[in-house]
Amino acid sequence: MELFTIIDEATAIIRAPKGVYKQVKVYHRGGRVFVGHSGGFLRITAQFGNQWGTSHPDVKVVDISQDIPGMFVTGEPRWTM
């Protein structure tokens, strides 16, 4: 079983429902990239314009660390290390 593992030095800014912005930690699991939210994890999906969707339709990633070795954030973010 693969667990969620924090990506050191990586952070993201999310916009939650009702316009609440939060700075959150970034995790990986099986090559996919996730953000922590409300005691759980949301998978980051494809980029639309200048933000990324998540597995929750009302939560968007508005900014994410882009200079972390092993993390690629073009299109759908992925972790390769």
The reported pTM is 0.92
pLDDT per residue rounded down to tens, the chain (81 residues): 999 999 999 999 999 999 999 999 999 999 999 999 999 999 999 999 999 999 999 999 999 998 899 999 888 999 998
The per-residue pLDDT for range 25-39, each reduced to its tens digit, is: 999 999 999 999 999
**Res 51: pLDDT:** 94
Return the ∠ at Cα 65 (arms to 38 and 1), rounded to 5°: 55
Given phi > 0 = left and psi -120 to 50 = alpha, else beta, which region is 38?
Answer: left
Q: Which pLDDT belongs to residue 37? A: 94
Q: Where are the domains of the chain?
A: 5-79
